[in-house]
Amino acid sequence: MKIDNLRLRRKRTRAKIKRSQNPIRLSVFKSNRYLSAQIIDDSQGVTLVSATTKEKEINQKAGKGVERAGQVGELLAKRALRKKIKKVKFDKGGYKYHGLIKALADGARKGGLEF
């Protein structure tokens, strides 16, 4: 039942994003151990920028859970601004908007992304 709800939320979220004019989206994936985010250009089907909790820049800093998610968001925003990407659509991937997902979004906003 939980997986079915996740798939329904993911489908609903992506349908809303596809209808928008901006083809660039920030997609989030959460596993039991890691959190990763990437900025994807749907018109070309390529990943422009990515960041994950597996990276040395994130692992060297202290903190767990929500703090690391915020750091991933800031790192992703920093890399996106280097490539002149400022506006994106937030694709939470069917996950509920709280905890790690919210922390990542707040970190990306803090880093300079708009969505």
| CATH numbers and ranges of domains, the chain | 2-111 (3.30.420.100)
Q: Hey, which of 11-25, 60-74, 86-100 has the most confident mean pLDDT?
A: 86-100
Report, as an integer, the average pLDDT of 1-19.
81
CA dist., res. 58 & res. 7, Å (int): 29
Helix (H/G/I), strand (E/B), else coil: 84: coil
Spacing of C-alpha 43 from chain mean position: 18
**Contact status, residue 40 vs residue 48, Cβ threshold 8 Å:** yes
Reported as half-sphere exposure (CB side, CA atoms, 13 A), residue 25 has a value of 21
28-43: buried (b, 16+ CB within 10 Å) or exposed (e) per residue?
A: bebeeeebbbbbbebe
Helix (H/G/I), strand (E/B), else coil: 62: coil
Instruction: Tell me what pLDDT residue 26 has.
Output: 94
Instruction: Tell me what pLDDT residue 80 has.
Output: 97
Does pLDDT of 25 surpass 80? Answer: yes
Distances (CA, A) of 10 to 27, 34, 77, 78: 11, 19, 23, 26
